[in-house]
Amino acid sequence: MVVLVVGESLVDVVVPASGDPADVVRRPGGSPMNVAVGLARLEVPTRLVTRLGDDPDGRLVRDHLAASHVALAEGAVDPATTTGVATAHLDADGVATYDFAVAWDLPPTLLPDDCRALHVGSIGAGVRPGRDAVVALAADAHRVGLPVSFDPNARPAFTPDPEVAWRDVLELASLCDLVKLSDEDAAFFQPGREVVDVAHAVLERGPALVVVTGGGGVATAVSRTGVVLVAESRKVEVADTVGAGDSFMAALVAATLPDRAAGAWDEGPTHSHVAEYLSAAHAAAAVTVTRRGADPPRLAELPPGWPRV
């Protein structure tokens, strides 16, 4: 049984604050691909539904997936497609802003028989025409009672109208039991609102748990049982933040999956469970930010007994 992850794969071109071409790094990326790698490195069997070109960047991505034991869905490589590129410009604090050259056109996709859970997000869940296939797949998973997680990962370059993007987020959230977004996502979708209010607005659409991550390693969670919890990550030396949110998301999916798959969330997660989930996700993200690029930890790099840390 696998977790099916659906969304874009691309190559991150990381440009340091100095702008020195000699220090530019080219690495596989894309939020859903990063989540798939993060899950597989946490020893969760994972398959990625994506679109790649049969080009050098596509081969770079495929080699990266194979090295982390992520299965690539049939038909993911299309010779008529060019593998997307995201250029990440780092500031003096290692925080990234992005420019994209990505197209997203996913054909209708069937839910496989061995699917244990579904994760969707980012450009793949927000950009048409591919979004339509993603929503249909989420609806199929929801209909048969599979756990569905969602990370909107706002990309104004692709969805510049916040009101339209917010409606799309709420539509997809209604098919999910777990949603994670960042405070930057919240500020784009609902400018001027407190993150806890944005989280509650998403929660009202049906998820059992909504988590909003923020700068400084702070995460705010609200649940169907009325839990409101703010948790902070341990302090570490930050190399850059590329992929940190995706590591958090992968760890959150992995940590919650046994309870979600067993039906323990039918009434919503308890306060103690939410605290455990956030601690587990913070532990993974804290490793990622100490190294360059989207490089999520392997299970052996996390504290003994993870996800209970």
Sheet holding 178-182, edge to edge: 71-72, 46-49, 2-6, 115-121, 148-151, 178-182, 209-214, 218-223, 228-232
Please tell me the distance from the alpha carbon of residue 99 to that of residue 116, in angstroms, as a whole number. Answer: 34
At residue 135, the pLDDT reads 98
Class of 2-301 per CATH?
Answer: alpha beta
Phi, psi values for residue 107, rounded to 5°: -70, 165
Mean pLDDT of successive 10-residue stretches along the chain, which has 309 residues: 96 85 86 97 98 95 97 94 88 81 91 97 95 98 98 92 97 98 97 96 98 91 94 84 91 98 92 96 94 90 92
Please tell me the distance from the alpha carbon of residue 53 to that of residue 17, in angstroms, as a whole number. Answer: 30
Sheet holding 84-90, edge to edge: 25-29, 10-15, 84-90, 96-101
Burial degree of 174 (CB within 10 A; 0-12, 13-18, 19+): middle
Phi, psi values for residue 14, rounded to 5°: -95, 115
147 close to 117: Cβ distance less than 8 angstroms: yes
Please tell me the distance from the alpha carbon of residue 195 to that of residue 83, in angstroms, as a whole number. Answer: 34
118 close to 138: Cβ distance less than 8 angstroms: yes
Q: Quote the pTM value.
A: 0.94
At residue 148, the pLDDT reads 98
At residue 233, the pLDDT reads 86
At residue 139, the pLDDT reads 98
At residue 21, the pLDDT reads 84
At residue 286, the pLDDT reads 94
Distances (CA, A) of 256 to 21, 60, 73: 41, 31, 24
264 close to 9: Cβ distance less than 8 angstroms: no
At residue 92, the pLDDT reads 85
Task: Show the DSSP H helices in the chain as ranges.
Answer: 31-41, 56-67, 122-126, 130-143, 162-173, 183-189, 195-203, 244-261, 271-288
At residue 270, the pLDDT reads 94
At residue 193, the pLDDT reads 97
Q: Which pair of structure tokens corresponds to residue 115?
A: 């699917």
